[in-house]
Structure 1
């Protein structure tokens, strides 16, 4: 394993002391200039194991989850292998970040960042009540604040502020607010309280509050993903589809939510005077896979790789589930979550795309230096 940035600094300084160069030395690198942290917030699409440490049914810690992960063992990721945060982390060249609830997240590992995401959560606090003990968004943000106190004890307040300002942040939520709240049961409380357009407006307003809180906590490079094609995932097909057609009500929800999310983020950036937030229209990316899977190297966009029942879409993936032999041929790993290969294509678009990533892609964003005055 290569030396960490901190170790490299000590080696450099020791070398200079031994040889005592007479000319003015080049200023030694500082940890905040050589280290990029990464933080993740959201739901099961980006959870990398926090729920393993909680008494909840929203867990992915049993085989065959993780079958294509390097260890070939379940990790808490709702994937056959890597999820989107893993692949983004690989692109920006950092060690895999740990779940915030992992007891081994201490010392130097804290400087890589942390994943605060928890499967089952939504924008709203009442989303995912059926999963009981999950880390809802206000608690994820509180944990982020606690994290900063812990890092301040390690490297001081000024360096911690720089670490946070320069870090990359990913946030993914919203889908559960429809699937596991508004449409969870007929005549749900939220569906009685709001017509769909008004509910979407309410969600966008609450999401804006979350993003502004991230900004107040120092985040300056934030990737915000929209929902996927909610009506086209295998679980919804299994429950509502006769011939593989997407459920129109959930598709309408996604089609209302995602453009308003982009508009809200654009307004925030204008208000802040900088491109702090970048949206990724994952709904349209997924719809490309669904409408023409073979063009992207998939064999099916309707059947999950792992599951049971119609379209392999019922229930979570378990050791007793039907498991496909070729995970790369499937857009969906289980009833809700993309396969690792689909995640790779999404991350490729996040980094280099121009159509579904606004106002700039991640490669461009990472080249910019956002420093508060």
Structure 2
């Protein structure tokens, strides 16, 4: 067994033996989720898009073995984080959330969505980040009606945890598709990362203005090592040009966290280093191949509907050509919540973020 295999199995063993659910009241009163297919739990189900996962074999290891719209075999990072936070349920998608459920949080994430409005457009409709923020403003109005006024709703939102995990599609379904999108012809990798971060910064400032005070920003993983990139480039080694571009985005996102914390001292933003966390990926390992048989036509790389996935799902890292398995999601969430290495989070992990007392409530 190679060192990489041993590292993978050791991490999986530790994670599987962790107690996930936390007894007692949740550590935060509410939890809101923004992002893409890595966090989507059903918002794309009724959209006119090929980017949806509401069919078997997705969800085979979720409750009752049924698909929900999660792009994996079971739970995703948003779900595991809900468990770590002490919620006794998963945060519902905006598409189906009802009544007072919104007081405990909403999931706005959408498969194929990006920071840029056009990312993923060739797949069909998607709820890009700007629209997710518009949906959140609708939620805020509903919360104000439930609690009586905007002052009370703002105080409520100030106590919530917000996570944002987006940007992958701005590369996979935009910059890395020069035959469809013009971005790679218009920008160098450095220029593109700068443009993305500038737009992202404006969205995050809107989120702050809407009451967010504890915000975890998930950086991008090693996209150059996912099965889709390896197949595209016909290689069994990570695509360095892709990973180098991703690193530029992540570096600028980490710097943005510093800027936001300086400009908004009554809030706390933190960066989750998914690039570091995903370093267990070894392209030569059988366990990093997709667990399910994948489509060769649109939506290329997603699971073939109705076919049986691999049997040993607990040791595979990818479910299809793009998305992690439940166990990989659990490993990542555990390190985001309780940093295993100093490089996993900056300036703090989510466990410490939710314990910060720097929030200033407006009277």
Aligning the two structures, in what range does the TM-score lie when normalised by the shorter sequence?
0.7 to 0.9
Larger radius of gyration: 1
Alignment map for 1:214-233 (pairs within 5 Å): 214-233=207-226
Rounded Cα–Cα distance in structure 1 between residues aligned with 2:301 and 2:90: 29
User: Given the alignment, which residue of 74, 81, 98 partners 1:88?
Assistant: 81
Verify the 8 A CA contact 1:235 1:314 in the aligned structure 2.
Answer: no
Rounded Cα–Cα distance in structure 1 between residues aligned with 2:188 and 2:255: 21
Normalised by the length of structure 1, the TM-score is: 0.84
Cα distance 1:186–1:54, how it changes in 2: closer, same or farther (>3 A)? Answer: closer
Verify the 8 A CA contact 2:80 2:330 in the aligned structure 1.
Answer: yes
Alignment map for 1:149-160 (pairs within 5 Å): 149-157=141-149, 158-160=151-153
Cα distance 1:35–1:193, how it changes in 2: closer, same or farther (>3 A)? Answer: closer
Verify the 8 A CA contact 1:308 1:321 in the aligned structure 2.
Answer: no
State yes or no: 1:371 paired with 2:360.
yes
Give the CA deviation at 1:70.
1.7
Q: Match for residue 262 of structure 1?
A: 254
Give the CA deviation at 1:265.
1.1
Rounded Cα–Cα distance in structure 2 between residues aligned with 1:201 and 1:292: 29
Verify the 8 A CA contact 2:56 2:307 in the aligned structure 1.
Answer: no
User: Given the alignment, which residue of 334, 348, 351 partners 2:320?
Assistant: 334
Rounded Cα–Cα distance in structure 1 between residues aligned with 2:53 and 2:226: 18
User: Given the alignment, which residue of 267, 274, 282 partners 2:274?
Assistant: 282
Listed as ranges, the gaps of 5+ residues in structure 1 are 6-32, 294-298
How many residue pairs get aligned? The number is 332
Q: Match for residue 71 of structure 1?
A: 64
State yes or no: 1:48 paired with 2:41.
yes
Cα distance 1:351–1:338, how it changes in 2: closer, same or farther (>3 A)? Answer: same
Give the CA deviation at 1:55.
1.7
SS in 1 for 2:333: helix
Rounded Cα–Cα distance in structure 1 between residues aligned with 2:287 and 2:275: 14
User: Given the alignment, which residue of 90, 97, 115 partners 2:91?
Assistant: 97
RMSD over aligned CA atoms reads: 2.3
User: Given the alignment, which residue of 121, 124, 140 partners 1:148?
Assistant: 140
Listed as ranges, the gaps of 5+ residues in structure 2 are 1-23
1:234-281 alpha-carbon deviations (Å, 9 max, x no partner): 111111133x11122211111211111101111111121255211101
With CA pairs under 8 Å and 6+ residues apart, which has the higher RCO, 1 or 2? 2
Rounded Cα–Cα distance in structure 2 between residues aligned with 1:113 and 1:35: 10
Give the CA deviation at 1:308.
3.4
Q: Match for residue 199 of structure 1?
A: 192
1:263-315 alpha-carbon deviations (Å, 9 max, x no partner): 1111111121255211101011112x11499xxxxx645301113389xx952
SS in 1 for 2:65: coil
SS in 1 for 2:257: helix
